[in-house]
Amino acid sequence: MKISIQHLTKIFPSRTKGGSAVHAVEDMNIEIPSGQLVGLLGPSGCGKSTTLFMLSGLESPSSGKIFFDDQDVTTLAAEKRGIGLVFQNYALYPHMTVEQNIRFPLDNMRIKKEEGNARALDAARLVQIEDLMARKPHELSGGQQQRVAIARALVKMPNVLLLDEPLSNLDARLRLQTREEIKRIQRTTGITTVFVTHDQEEAMSICDTMVVMKLGVVQQIGAPQEIYDDPNNLFVANFLGTPPINIFKGKVQGGKVYIGEEAVASAECDDREVFIGIRPEGFIYDPNGAFTLNLDHVEVMGRDKSVVSTHESSTKPTVRCIIESDVALPADAEQLKFNIKPYKLFLFDAETEERLR
Amino acid sequence: MEENKDNIDPMPETPPKKHNRFVQYFINLGARIKGWFVDKYTAIKDFFVGLFKKKPQEELVPEGPQLSRGEKFRRGLKSQSGWLFVAPALILMAIFTFYPIIAAFINSFKQGYSGMTGRFDGWGFDNFVRVLKGDTGTGGADFVQCLVNTLVLTFISVPLSTLLALLISVALNSIKKVQKAYQTVLFLPYLTNALAMGAVFATFFKIIGTANNTETVGIVNIVLGWFGISPVDWVGLTSPHWQIGSLSIPWAKYIVAIIYEVWSGLPFKILILFSAMQSINKQYYDAAKVDGASRWTILWHITAPMIMPQISYLLVTGIMGGMKQYSAIVGLFGVTMGQDYDMGTMVGYLYNYIELGQTGYAFAGSLMLFIIIMIITWINNKVTKKRTTYR
């Protein structure tokens, strides 16, 4: 099912007298094609969960519209939207067994017992918990509870599956495994899925489309690689990527990009103060390179090396460059010279922090 | 090698005699009961021996210098000082709880016991037999009548008021404005005296009042009159009742008593259930809403199970309290608890026989009440535990 969000805005009135209202989501416009896995990504407080709850119908928007296919569902009650929602804490009913939990939506739909049992079992098989049907939630591990929650959301064959921070309560290993699982389930069922996360790695790894948000405003929408390679502004560039992008203060003068005194690349924009973002993998070691960094130490990762250094123009305490492990570095050098891959270097206006292309 | 060992045994034990299964069951049961008593006896004995046994010297002062007599005494006292702190409570409980229980137990087996002189004719179950048969020869309350009254009132009013409290709590939980005000109003009956409330209730239900020297009917009968129902004597001498053998079922009085019990039981139950409801995570309701659960389903399949610990607490304590009810009935129906104790309760029965000087019957009755409450509480626990998931 296609989802279309038009001018969606949510304003929470202030709790105290005279306080200012909170704009949780502002003028959001997204088109989500049918059958896609979409990630809402942003730091906490950016309105991503609010957006999800507005999609689910648990929160009503202050203005704007939501369409499922061509149907306007903006004012439609949650239970009539045909959505499955997985909560961050799973919200499994503690007094019901796994089977009763999964069956609960079906019982509410007054589906016959045999059919309900069959569908509950199907959903359980899909998330591989069919052996745990007789257990109570507190007898399950976090990962298993998560699966039950997904099964409960899937059992009614929803048009849209919504996941609120589905992986945040799992440990690191399980998180990797579960995110692949979610991808697999989404592929198998073909259900349009929207999930919320603050973890960019998680979003990058499984999303078809990613929506990056900040303070209620959508910053960029696109495929993960697209956004990574072509960020709209400093925030997006900074938010995506591990290790994060290196940011320098610098200027453009006469068609050249200067960091400190060194011209590291050419530019086609007017002279001005800029922020220069360089991805860690954008450095090429070259003894005659254009850009000099003060070497701090080198971390060996096996597949590649991580060169940690400092630079006076850097906005962060350290600059991190990732180079291939077979590149030999001088053992006791205090300074290293690099060339910059032009497509890994982004220029942002120093005032607006918008990308200069 | 292992097998040889058995053969060396000079006196092989004779195999135990085979009984049929039924007899064997009782033999085993007997052995188990005996075992239980022996266990308890040794535990109690060990406890008391431990209490009075002198602790070995080296345990008190492992490797210290030789202590003076006074110091030894001081330290010895200090190690037992815990007893000092519990002593006031322990002494009071011993005088007012343990001694009466034991005395009641012993005295209930004394036949023809006189509370004044302490004389009695002999030991036996005479008191119990007479109490159960209603053959007390004093014209006092009837045990079976009192027991039936108590059970009927308890097992109708407690579940009913718990259910009502649940529904009211749900309603209270769903309103936002003036919630606090409603809460206060609902809690007020809890602060009111039972006798006073009973008297007021009785007035509501009276058929004949004597206000301004004119005959009037109570407000309930006035309201019933609007619907063309002729006045019923709810609480008076002509109150309608059914007769089953020697047992009287004063249904009109039951209705009054049950309405009263439900009403007076509500505040505390609402307080408990309402606060329990407020602590339920809102996400469960969101999840239920997304899953298309109706209000009814949410109440019975989400809210009620979630506050089951509180509900079972209310049922257990409510039933225990119901079995011991007295003052409310006196407030409603006077000190004779209706007409010749036709609304008597178990506790009323006990008071009656104490008043009549027939303490033996009162002792026997109280022991039976004790056992009945224990059995009901035990069943109660079994039932509610099964349905309760503690988070």
From B160, B156, B158, select the one nearest B148 (Cα to Cα).
B156
Q: pLDDT of A88-146, one tens digit each? A: 888 899 889 999 999 999 888 888 989 888 888 988 888 888 898 889 999 998 888 98
Which phi and psi angles does B224 have, rounded to 5°?
A: -60, -35
Which phi and psi angles does B318 have, rounded to 5°?
A: -65, -45
- Give the mean model confidence (pLDDT) for residues B160-184: 88
If you measure CA to CA, which chain A residue comes closest to B282? A91
- ipTM above 0.85? no
CB contact under 8 A, A79 and B389: no
Q: Cβ atoms within 10 A of the Cβ of B80, count?
A: 11
Of A85, A89, A94, the CB nearest to B290: A85
Q: How far is A103 from chain B (nearest CA, A)?
A: 10
- Give the mean model confidence (pLDDT) for residues A316-325: 88
pLDDT value of residue B208: 66
**Cα distances (angstroms) measured from residue B229 to each of B15, B221, B225, B255, B344:** 79, 8, 5, 16, 28
For residues B220 and B79, the model is more confident at B220
Of A57, A87, A104, the CB nearest to B283: A87
CB contact under 8 A, A95 and B389: yes
- What are the chain A neighbours of B284 within 8 Å (beta carbons)? 91, 93
Contact A192, A159 (CB under 8 A): yes
Domains and CATH numbers, chain A: 3-238 (3.40.50.300), 243-356 (no CATH)
Average pLDDT, chain A: 87
Residues of A with CB under 8 A from a CB of B: 56-58, 78-80, 83-85, 87, 89, 91, 93-96, 104-105, 107-109, 136, 138, 152, 156
pLDDT value of residue B1: 42
pLDDT value of residue B151: 92
Residues near A344 by Cβ (< 8 Å), separated by ≥ 6?
A278, A279, A281, A282
Query: In whole angstroms, what is the distance from residue A234 CA to residue A277 CA?
Result: 8
Q: What is the DSSP string of A109-142?
A: TT--HHHHHHHHHHHHHHTT-GGGTTS-GGGS-H
Q: pLDDT of B256-301, one tens digit each? A: 899 989 988 898 999 999 999 988 988 899 999 888 888 889 999 9
Contact A228, A220 (CB under 8 A): no
- Optimal mutation site among A76, A87, A89, A95, interface B, most CBs of chain B within 10 A: A95
pLDDT value of residue A173: 82
If you measure CA to CA, which chain B residue comes closest to A106? B291
Q: How confident is the model at residue A82 (pLDDT cuts 50, 70, 90)?
A: confident
Cα A230 to the center of its chain, rounded Å: 16
Q: How far is B283 from chain A (nearest CA, A)?
A: 6
pLDDT value of residue B159: 93
Residue B156 has pLDDT above 80, yes or no: yes
Q: What is the DSSP string of A69-108?
A: TTEE-TT--GGGS-EEEE-TT----TTS-HHHHHHHHHHH
The pTM score is 0.72
Q: For residue B13, give the DSSP letter.
A: P
Query: In whole angstroms, what is the distance from residue B115 CA to residue B359 CA?
Result: 6
Question: Would you state the torsion angle of the CA atoms of residues A255, A261, A263, A267, taken in this order, to the nearest 10 degrees?
Answer: -30
